[in-house]
Amino acid sequence: MVQSYSRHGPTQAFGLICSSSSNSTYDGKLAYVPALEDVLVWDMKKGQMLAMWHETGHRAEVTCIRRSPQVNVLAVGYADGSVRLWDTTTGSVNTTFNGHKKAVTALAFDSQGTRLASGAQDTDLIIWDIVAEVGLYRLRGHRDQITGICFLAPPELPSTSTGSFTHFLLSTSKDTLMKLWDLSTQHCVQTVVAHRSEVWSMDINPQQNLIFTGSSEGDLKTWRIDYEAIAEGLKTTESGEINKMIHAVAILPLASRHRVSQILFHKTQPYLAVQSHDRSIEIFRIRTEDEIRKKQARRRKRAKEKSKSKKEKEDHDDKTDEDEAGSDEISLIDLFTPYLVVRASGKVRSFDFSIKDASGHKPGVQLFLALASNALEIYDIPPPSKLKEDVPQATRTYSLDLPGHRTDVRTLCLSSDDQLLASASNGSLKLWNMKTTACIRTIDCGYAVCSTFLPGDRHIAVGTKSGEIMIYDLASSSLSDTIRAHSATVWSLHIRPDEQVLVSGSADKEVKFWEFERDAAPEDDNQPKKSLTLVHTRTLKMSDDVLSVRYSPNGKLLAVSLLDSTVKIFYQDTLKFFLSLYGHKLPVLSMDISDDSNLIVTCSADKNVKIWGLDFGDCHKSIFAHEESVMQVLFEKKSHYFWTVGKDKMLKYWDGDKFENIQRLDGHHSEIWALAVSRHGNFVVTGSHDKSIRVWERLDEPVFLEEERERELEQIYDSALADSLNRTDTAVGSEGNADGYLPTEVAAVTKQTTETLMAGERIMEALDLSDNERAAFREFEEQKARASTLGAAGLQPPSRNPILAALDLEPEAYVLRVVEKVSSTALHDALLVLPFGKVLSLMHHLDMWAQKGWNITLVSRITFFLLKTHHHQIVANRIMRTTLIPMRVHLRNALRREKDTVGYNLAALQYIRRKNVAERTAQFFEEGFDEEKLREKIAEGKKRKRVVIKA
Task: Tell me the torsion sign for CA atoms 59, 65, 68, 73.
Answer: positive
Q: For residues 695 and 418, what is the distance between their CA atoms, to the nearest angstrom?
A: 12
- Name the nearest CA neighbour of 165 among 95, 225, 114, 83: 225
Q: What is the pLDDT of residues 429-446, one digit of tens each?
A: 999 999 999 999 899 998
pLDDT bucket at 792, cuts 50 / 70 / 90: low
C-alpha torsion angle, residues 765, 767, 770, 772 (rounded to 10): -80
How many other C-beta atoms can be found within 10 angstroms of the C-beta atom of residue 315?
Answer: 11
Burial level of 252, CB count in 10 A (0-12/13-18/19+)?
buried
Task: Please check the confidence at residue 856 and state whether its pLDDT lies above 90.
Answer: no
Classify residue 129 by its DSSP letter. Answer: E
Instruction: List phi, psi (to 5°) of 383.
Output: -70, 160
**Is residue 134 within 8 Å of 828, Cβ to Cβ?**
yes
Rounded distance, CA 316 to CA 910, Å?
70
Instruction: Give the separation between CA 756 and CA 215, rounded to whole angstroms.
Output: 39
Mean pLDDT of 236-262: 84
Confidence of residue 170 (pLDDT cuts 50, 70, 90): very high
What is the sign of the dihedral through the CA atoms of 465, 466, 468 and 473? negative
Q: Is the dihedral of CA 34, 35, 41, 47 positive or negative?
A: negative
Query: Would you say 153 and 206 are in contact if contact means Cβ atoms under 8 Å apart?
Result: no
Contact indicator for 150, 202 with CB cutoff of 8 Å: yes
Residue 389 burial (10 A CB sphere; 0-12, 13-18, 19+): exposed
- The type of residue at 290 is D
Contact call for residues 137 and 163 (beta carbons, < 8 A): no
pLDDT at position 657 is 92
Which residues touch 751 (CB under 8 Å, ≥6 apart)?
81, 98, 99, 100, 101, 726, 829
CA 115 to chain centre: 20
Q: Among 106, 60, 105, 66, which residue's Cα sits nearest to residue 79?
A: 60
Mean pLDDT of 256-277: 90
pLDDT of residue 523: 47
Closest CA to 817 of 829, 807, 826: 807
Residue 881 host element (H or E): helix 881-927
The reported pLDDT for the residue numbered 826 is: 85
Q: How far is Cα 292 from Cα 753, in angstroms, rounded to an integer?
A: 57
Whole-number pLDDT of residue 951? 38
Poorest-confidence range of 367-381, 695-709, 847-861, 877-891? 877-891
Write the burial class of residue 927 (CB in 10 Å: 0-12 exposed, 13-18 middle, 19+ buried): exposed
Return the DSSP state at 168: E
What separation in angstroms does the CA of 700 have from each of 637, 664, 750? Answer: 18, 17, 40
Q: pLDDT-based confidence at 919, cuts 50/70/90?
A: confident
With both helix axes pointing from N to C terminus, report the angle between 856-869 and 881-927 in degrees, rounded to the nearest 10: 130
Give the mean pLDDT of 830-838.
87
Q: Pick from 654, 647, 599: which is nearest to 623 by CA?
A: 654
What is the identity of the amino acid at 705?
Answer: L
Residue 385 has pLDDT above 80, yes or no: no
Q: Name the average pLDDT for the chain.
A: 85
Pick 777 or 121 by higher pLDDT.
121
Return the C-alpha torsion angle 592, 594, 599, 603, nearest 10: -20
Which 3 state secondary structure label does DSSP give 429?
Answer: strand
pLDDT number for residue 797: 78
Three-state SS at 328: coil
Rounded Cα–Cα distance for residues 442 and 403 (Å): 9
Which residues lie across from 592 on neighbouring strands? Answer: 601
Beta bridge partners of 182: 168, 187
Is the per-residue pLDDT at 351 higher than 80?
Answer: yes
- In angstroms, rounded to a whole number, what is the distance separating the alpha carbons of residues 95 and 718? 23
Q: Which long-range contacts (CB under 8 A, 24 or more apart) does 768-773 make?
A: 769/801, 769/803, 769/804, 769/811, 769/814, 770/811, 770/812, 770/814, 770/815, 770/841, 770/845, 771/811, 771/841, 772/801, 773/800, 773/801, 773/804, 773/811
CA atoms of 788 and 283, how far apart (whole Å): 94
Whether the CA torsion 616, 622, 628, 634 is positive or negative: it is: negative
Give the model confidence (pLDDT) of 182-197 as tens digits: 988 888 888 999 889 9
Q: Are 111 and 166 in contact (CB under 8 A)?
A: yes
| pLDDT beyond 80 at 723 | no
Q: How far apart are CA 276 and CA 148, in angstroms?
A: 16
Average pLDDT over residues 633-644: 94
pLDDT > 90 fraction of the chain, expressed in percent and rounded: 48
Indicate the SS3 state at residue 790: helix
- pLDDT for 571: 93
- The model's pLDDT over 449-507, given as tens digits with 9 standing for 90+, comes to 999 999 988 999 999 999 999 999 998 888 988 999 999 999 999 999 998 999 999 99
Q: Which whole number is the average pLDDT over 534-547?
A: 93
Read off the pLDDT of each residue in 836-848 and give the average, rounded to a whole number.
Answer: 88
What's the rounded Cα separation, in Å, for the pair 442 and 676? 19
pLDDT at residue 738 is higher than 60:
no
pLDDT at 310 over 70: no
pLDDT of residue 292: 75
C-alpha span between 111 and 534 (Å, rounded): 67
Q: Amino acid identity of 229? A: A
For residue 929, the model assigns a pLDDT of 59
pLDDT tens, residue by residue, 582-632: 999 999 999 999 999 999 999 999 999 999 999 999 999 999 999 999 999
Let me know: does 89 contact 41? Beta carbons within 8 Å. no
Q: Is residue 808 predicted with pLDDT exceeding 90?
A: no
